[in-house]
Homo-oligomer: A and B are copies of this chain.
């Protein structure tokens, strides 16, 4: 059998299996799978280097479906590679199956969860960046993208950064099947509009017929010979290709076929061929960065040290002790003090410019390869990447995010260098045997709480002060003990809206208890404007003065009863 014939047989098998998988629960996206089947048939036969028996092999290529809804195609490829059985393929989307509607990394060959569009490509940029600059291994990242998702700005952040970092180990395969969910895409089959944008952003772009095996083959061959820039293969394809009933027709997005058996016959029937996916060359182990003993920064108690300066110092120290630590920043490293890390470990620092979605996606991609990124920017800008963070949680991705400038004040040093802050814990900063009330704060409001406690002490009111630095999970035991010891009187204070924050976390601890303390919540209620920090804290009603006043009212009401 010649190459073209083999590819054709495999392409048809992938289509048939996509249809069969979708038929199981009568759901899923078979037509979106069928458009890309030929592209993937050639890829897995000749270009993808992957050892399905050893997914942890650092030399494996990575295959990421940015159009995660084409999961039936991905699972059909796994079956064709011999990685899953026919039986398992036919559990698609059943409750409890690992073959979910969208790919999740519970499957050992899936790097990250995709499905929310516009995320797989920026994450692929992170994996490719790790391959080139951290692992320093020649593996490639192949990313299958849909045409609809090209409207997402996050895709263009990825195009920008992939070119800037000269990621010639990244190939994006654009499956231009013309039809989105509700009808034609913005550019339909105007391949040029995609290719021109890609070129303007610094990529090589190759336009092909995505059902012509020889064109596909040539495009991949050209992609792997391209140096200094990433490649986009812009492929004209037909949604539902191969089955007349659905081919290039509107109204068939995200639907199983009405007549799967007839469709399978039209495609030449069920095949169960298993092909040999090329194994990766053994190019060695990932690069290891030199390390030294951990020496954490030390400050004298009582010193004024900006929290973010301490962040930069600590991150640089962590980076010295742990070669896996990496920093990415959103063009504000002089504010977040990630620049201290950059100076100490320039090879492990990546400037993401003002592209927060790409910054988070790069972190997700780097952790795929076992690196531990710390992503930093101003706290409010992290919200630009909200949906990427949500999907990262589904991926169970391990990385750290640090949002600076969430409050309006800087930190005096309260804790000594040997204190530990386990997640889910809380710290009783001040207490006595006869406390009248508990004040719970965190960050800047902790400082205000301590000031309030000082003022109250002079009036003969003794306040226990708790640093609730972990809001989720919350330290129920410490709070319960405090409530009991202080007559069920608690004041919470947060530099945050009242919904979903520290106060509500405290309330939740006691929601269904037999004894439920009285909780006064101080939180930001109005829209803040410009002004000095102390003006803003006072205007928001969360400064020491307001805390003390809330305590006075609570304690005097208790005295009356």
Contact = CB atoms under 8 A, between A and B. Distances in A.
Interface residues of A, number: 84
A556 interface: no
A508 interface: yes
Q: Which of A354, A527, A554 has most B Cβ within 10 Å?
A: A354
Contacts of A54: none
A380 interface: yes
Contacts of A186: 160, 164, 353
A504 B513 contact: no
Given A152-B354, A186-B164, A354-B152, A334 B181 contact: yes
B357 A153 contact: yes
A535 interface: yes
Contacts of A511: 503, 507, 518-521
Q: Which of A100, A156, A334, A384 has most B Cβ within 10 Å?
A: A384
Interface stretch (A195-203, A417-425, A443-451): A195-203
Contacts of A530: 93-95, 97, 100-101
A186 B331 CA distance: 10
Given A498-B508, A500-B499, A335 B182 contact: yes
A325 interface: no
B201 A331 contact: no
A383 interface: yes
A508 B504 contact: yes
A72 to B, nearest CB: 13
Contacts of A154: 153, 384
B334 A100 contact: no
Interface in A145-194: 148-149, 151-157, 160, 164, 180-183, 185-186, 193
A116 interface: yes
A298 interface: no
A309 interface: no
Interface stretch (A256-264, A366-374, A386-394): A386-394
Contacts of A532: 95
A61 interface: no
Interface in A344-367: 353-358
Q: Which of A101, A155, A156, A339 has most B Cβ within 10 Å?
A: A156
A516 interface: yes
A505 to B, nearest CB: 7
Contacts of A353: 148, 151, 180, 185-186
Contacts of A200: 196-197, 199-201
A96 to B, nearest CB: 8
B520 A512 contact: yes
A383 B381 contact: no
B164 A354 contact: no
A333 interface: yes
A240 interface: no
Interface string A30-56: 000000000000000000000000000
Interface string A108-150: 0000000011100000000000000000000000000000110
Contact of A499 (B383, B390, B504, B512): B504
B180 A354 contact: yes
A472 interface: yes
B157 A153 contact: yes
A153 B151 contact: no
A104 B530 CA distance: 11
Interface string A88-108: 000001111100110010000
A332 interface: yes
7 closest A-B pairs by CB: A500-B500, A153-B153, A95-B531, A200-B200, A156-B156, A151-B353, A504-B504
Given A96-B529, A153-B153, 8 more contacts: A95-B529, A149-B354, A152-B384, A180-B353, A181-B331, A200-B201, A383-B390, A504-B507
11 contacts: A93-B531, A95-B530, A117-B354, A151-B353, A152-B355, A153-B153, A153-B155, A181-B334, A381-B387, A383-B387, A472-B499
